[in-house]
A and B are shown apart, each in its own frame.
Chain A
Amino acid sequence: MSERTTIQLACVVVYALVCIGVGVWSRRRTHDRRDYFMAGRRLNGWVTGLGIFASTLSGFSFVGGPGLIYAQGFSSMWIVITGPLAHAFTFLLVARPLRRIAGRFDALSLPEAVARRYDNPRTGLLTACVVIAGVLGYLGTQILAMANALLFLMPDAGLTLVQSAAIVTGVLLLYCTIGGSVAAAYTDVVQGVLMLVAAGGVLFAASTSFSGGFSGMLETLERDEAASVGAWGAFGMLGCLSWYLTFTLGSCGQPHAITRLMMTRRLSDLRVAFPLVVIAGMIGGLLWMAVGTSMRALVVSGELAPLASPDQAAPTFLATQASPLLAGVVFAGILAASMSTADGFLNIGAAALVHDLPAALGRVSERRNVSGARWATVGLCAVAFGIALQWKDLLGLLGVAAWGLFAAGLVPVIAIGFNWRRATARAANWALVASLIVNLGLRLSGWTLPHRIDPGAVALLVSVAVFVLVSLASPPPELDPEVAEILDGD
């Protein structure tokens, strides 16, 4: 094993041990399901902020994003630049009513908070179904991304994809089942800090990778083709704008991120979390841009040979432009990005299975039974593991559709419905069903929308329109007085 590989592997092993250590530490703080699913509602602003940042930024930001810039120029910057506005939706529109309803009714999951808001178990059930469908896709995608990262890290170890996936899933399961959402929240702090350190290091390495720094890169790329580093790149204007819509408004419908808002100790903690998430997200976005631009400039200038695939942009950058220590930190950061997203999904998926589905069927949730929640976590992970390795086509579909699925399903129901008392349960149910039909229908039909418009954006617009119009066409709802007080509060 080369010295470089040894250093990289050491970084990853240290990271994995820290995660498991946090899991063991969290076990003492996990006594019932409120602890397991809601971290006891004891998180402060820093833990919440870093948790939302870490769970939003998946492995795709480290690997897929730079690949998009490498292949298409600046088109995918329309995803990167959504950050500040997207987080404004999360913190200004969703945080306050969601946290207050969760606190008032001691809700243990997002579907339960939705069911309480609309006073309708069917709405909670539909929300849980959307959550589970998206969770399976996302979780499987993250497992596969982590397994591939480990294989790339240890090419000489003779590991198969299944073995690699088993190793990373084992670490994930260990800390998630031992410590539940407490472990997920505090490992996310470690993972978030690690990702920020990795992003800072990569930014510096990228700026020195090319003669003349970023200005030199842009000049080279403009000489090759000015449009590639203009605002739209190669993807087309309407496609870029549909990404902007899906990722701006859609971010406040991502359950793994907004569930963290329900875990905070006080609403005032979010004043710390909001700027923290915005700034951290901007640093993460710069990594996306810097690595992709650097690799495209290096290939265009002839300093590097063209890559076999765009997804090789980040690994090749690390292999050729980063020191072994930085590469090790970044590899650990890639695992951290995937793991922090995956642990959030495991948490909300397990809650949907053992808490929301039984509640929708009229069974009382056993709030003190943590072992049931742990078994649900293991079961969910096993199913996602199987899908990741056996049904890659299904996984690809669910993985691609998941963000749009959550966005179209949950944005109207939560972002609008939690701020507008005229919204009705019937409208929420219609919007959830419409989002599933439009999203999965467009993806399963294989029909490519004109001008590369993202199906998730269309589904989001349809579900918002359905939600508001059905609400206005329905009789005004008779709200629970406590819910009405929260919705009316300014």
Chain B
Amino acid sequence: MSRRGRDRVALVVALGAIGLLLAGLGAALTVPSEVTSDRPHPVLPGLRSAPTETSTALTHWARLIGSGLLLWLFGILSLATSGGSGRRLLIVSALFSVIAFQLCFSADPAWARAGMVGVWLLPLITLAWPVPRGEEQAGGSGSEEDAP
């Protein structure tokens, strides 16, 4: 990636961080905290249960923040690419991760878990990342240089 390209990515990363902070603030201001509070299990001491209330507004915020977060993370990772197939891998991985993330909001817990598994495993695509050339280094001396 060119120097100017990296400058642009860095600026987007900073704006993304600010956007995520603002979205978190928006959620905090528009949805009461009690909505998130867990509660004791009705029978078994020590276990916690999910909140009884479900807030549509909070779910919207979580969908937005989570999707933005995933794209932001993959955006930072793009600083390591030199373009080409590496960037394509990133885009594919990011888009499928966001789709899998949306499944996490399913009312059916099995689908929700499948979404989590998707968010977990889809970044494995990055294992196929092409390693840049010129990465071999001699070892031990401490003053090693890249091999041609």
Q: Footprint of B on A, CB under 8 Å? A: 34, 40-42, 70-74, 77-78, 80-81, 83-85, 88-89, 92-93, 96, 99-100, 103-104, 106, 218, 222, 225-239, 241-242, 244-245, 248-249, 264-268, 271, 274-275, 278, 296, 299-300, 306-310, 415-416, 419-423, 449-453, 458, 461-462, 464-465, 467-469, 471-472, 488-490
Contact = CB atoms under 8 A, between A and B. Distances in A.
Given A232-B50, A241-B65, A420 B113 contact: no
Given A41-B139, A238-B61, A306 B1 contact: no
Q: How large is the interface on B (under 10, 10 to 19, 20 to 34, 35 or more residues)?
A: 35 or more
27 contacts: A71-B47, A72-B48, A78-B116, A80-B120, A81-B119, A84-B121, A88-B129, A89-B77, A218-B109, A229-B113, A231-B106, A233-B50, A234-B39, A237-B62, A238-B24, A238-B58, A238-B61, A238-B62, A241-B62, A242-B24, A266-B137, A299-B44, A422-B10, A450-B33, A453-B28, A468-B14, A490-B1
A419 B80 contact: yes
Nearest to A44: B139
A464 B16 CA distance: 10
8 A-B pairs closest in CB distance? A265-B139, A106-B142, A468-B14, A490-B82, A236-B36, A81-B120, A227-B50, A231-B104
A311 B102 CA distance: 32
Contacts of A465: 14, 17-18, 21
B91 interface: no
B46 A42 contact: no
Nearest to A421: B3
Given A103-B142, A268-B135, A458-B24, A275 B113 contact: no
SS class, residues of chain A in contact with chain B: helix
Given A93-B77, A299-B47, A451-B28, A237 B36 contact: yes
Contact of A468 (B11, B112, B131): B11
A237 B59 contact: yes
A232 B55 CA distance: 14
Interface string B114-125: 011101110110
Interface in B10-39: 10-11, 13-14, 17-18, 20-21, 24, 27-28, 31, 33, 35-39
B45 interface: yes
Contacts of A41: 139-140, 142
Contact of A84 (B76, B126, B138): B126
